Amino acid sequence: MATKINQWLDERTAWHKVWEVIFLRKIPKVNWFYTLGSASLFVALNQAITGILLTIYYVPTPDHAYDSVQYITTQVPLGWLIRGLHHWGASALIILVVLHMLRVIIFGAYKYPREVTWFTGVFLLLVVIGFGFTGYLLPWDQKAFWATTVGTRIAGTPPLIGDYLLRIIRGGPEITAVTLVRFFGTHVWVLPSLLLILIGIHLYLIIRNGISAKPKRGK
Amino acid sequence: MGNKKELSRRNFMQAAIWGIGGLIGVGFGVPAVAYVVGPSLKSQQAQTWMRLGPTSKVELGTPTLFTFTIQTQTGWIVNSEEISVYVLSKDGRDYIAMSNICTHLGCHVRWITDQNLFFCPCHNGEFDVNGNVIAGPPPRPLNRYEVKVENDQLYVLVGG
């Protein structure tokens, strides 16, 4: 029965071919450092799932943000787990993408023909850092508020454009409800869209070009 | 999969990947459902006995107004609500407690001593001393609370 459904579906969608190309492709003999990209992808998926779940209760306004986070952590069944996974996943993701980048540098995997994969990777790193920066404000506690005060003030340091930059990021001269909701919007709409597009290109290129073999001495 | 003799390295890895993947899937799926559904299944505010005050405050034969506040919590938002209750006793032993909310559209009724009735200013609803409708649009008598007396203190049952 199952094979019949499979055949029926495969005839119309060629999904097995897609499956083969993605999961059954040949790879050179590599080591465990080559799993850092997949690990990053896995944690990113964790962030997406837990992040979506958090938005079910989180409210991005100054009078509700902190209380709704406390509600998630203390009242909602397993809310502490969902928030914990998102919180620790955020740190794990930063660490993993940096290690992934180091591996690509050390093994020379950014070279021809994989330059574009590298470029998208650089933008992915920026997006992940953007996630970290915007997400840090959302619990709206003292740490969040002051970290964002400092962080946005750093953005205000360049000459000439600094003040504009700071005002654009904060949505005004101070950190207010406007700041909170624009950080939220950026965190759940802008950055995820960018991430999805960039990961799509990144993965396509990895499959298209194949992963690099370990470099050999004298080559 | 199948029996052990056929278990090649490739098959073992495949089974392990599906197995671990399945566990991770369950690990996300089950908490996600509990997390989403949890608050929906939470029972309503528990019933509690609210203390109104001493029985000596109740004038025999005249509805006496008591007021107290209860706190209700919806999600992370705590509301305090002021509730008023008219307590009537004819003999000092049996007490009835009536809500001051008109059963028509929810305005507050007032005891008018001169006319011996509860009067609702919104649509001229009138209730007698026991809360039964005398005139006007209210569809049923004033709501009542369960009352108990402990150590000469009056309590009414609220919530639920």
Could you tell me if residue A16 is inside a domain? no
Return the residue matching tokens 């050390």. Answer: A106
∠ CA A63-A66-A70, nearest 5°, is: 130
Give the pLDDT confidence score for residue A219 in this predicted structure.
63
A51 touches chain B (CB under 8 A): no
Task: Compute the distance between CA of residue A126 and CA of residue A128 in angstroms, rounded to an integer.
Answer: 5
A110: distance to nearest CA of chain B, Å? 29
Task: Please give the tally of structural domains in chain A.
Answer: 1
DSSP per-residue string spanning A51-87: HHHHTTT---STTTHHHHHHHHHHTSTTHHHHHHHHH
Q: Which of residues 109-138 of B touch A (CB under 8 A)?
A: none
Q: Which residue of A has its CA nearest to B24?
A: A46
Q: How far is CA B129 from each of CA B85, B110, B135, B145, rounded to the nearest angstrom?
A: 13, 11, 13, 15
Q: How far is CA B130 from each of CA A202, B63, B97, rounded to the nearest angstrom?
A: 77, 9, 9
Could you tell me if residue A61 is inside a domain? yes
- List Cβ neighbours of A184 (8 Å cut-off, separation of 6 or more): A60, A134, A138
Structure tokens at B139: 């569809």
Q: How far is CA B134 from each of CA A67, A149, B127, B143, rounded to the nearest angstrom?
A: 48, 65, 5, 15
Could you tell me if residue A24 is inside a domain? no
B78 touches chain A (CB under 8 A): no
Give the pLDDT confidence score for residue B60 in this predicted structure.
85
Ranges in chain A, pLDDT < 50: none
Helices (H) and strands (E) in chain B, counts: 1, 11
Could you tell me if residue A25 is inside a domain? no
Q: What is the pLDDT of residues A183-203, one digit of tens each?
A: 999 999 999 999 999 999 999
Torsion of Cα atoms, A101 then A102 then A107 then A112, to 10°: 40
Say whether pTM exceeds 0.90: no
Q: Nearest CB to B31: which of A46, A67, A82?
A: A82
Q: What is the mean pLDDT of the segment spanning B138-152?
A: 89
pLDDT band at B70 (very low <50, low <70, confident <90, very high): confident
Give the pLDDT confidence score for residue B1 in this predicted structure.
47
The residues pairing with B88 across neighbouring beta strands, listed in sequence order, are B96
Q: Which residues of B touch A56 (CB under 8 A)?
A: 35-36
Q: Which residues of A touch B27 (CB under 8 A)?
A: none
Give the domain extent around A38: 30-209
**Sequence letter at residue A139:** P
* Strand, coil or helix: B134: strand
Q: Give rounded-to-5 percent helix, strand, coil for chain A.
A: 75, 0, 25
Could you tell me if residue A34 is inside a domain? yes
Task: Compute the distance between CA of residue A31 and CA of residue A26 in angstroms, rounded to an integer.
Answer: 15
Q: Which residue of B has its CA nearest to A67?
A: B76
Contact call for A56 and B77, based on CB within 8 A:
no
Task: Compute the distance between CA of residue A183 and CA of residue A170 in angstroms, rounded to an integer.
Answer: 9
Q: Which residues of B touch A57 (CB under 8 A)?
A: 75
Q: Across the beta sheet with B48-54, what order do the strands follow?
A: B48-54, B153-158, B147-150
% of chain B surpassing 90 pLDDT: 31
Give the pLDDT confidence score for residue A217 in this predicted structure.
86
Give the CATH number, domain containing residue A177: 1.20.810.10
Res. B2: pLDDT tops 60: no
Structure tokens at A41: 């992808």
Return the residue matching tokens 């108990």. Answer: B148
Task: Compute the distance between CA of residue A65 and CA of residue B129 in angstroms, rounded to an integer.
Answer: 49
**H or E element in which residue B66 lies:** strand B64-74
Q: What is the mean pLDDT of the segment spanning B107-111?
A: 91
* Strand, coil or helix: B139: coil
Contact call for B77 and A49, based on CB within 8 A:
no
Could you tell me if residue A92 is inside a domain? yes
Q: Which residues of A touch B75 (CB under 8 A)?
A: 57, 68, 71
Structure tokens at B75: 């999600």
pLDDT band at B160 (very low <50, low <70, confident <90, very high): low
Could you tell me if residue A176 is inside a domain? yes
Alpha helices for chain B (secondary structure H):
9-41
Could you tell me if residue A181 is inside a domain? yes
Q: How far is CA A32 from the centre of its chain?
A: 22
Contact call for A77 and B28, based on CB within 8 A:
no
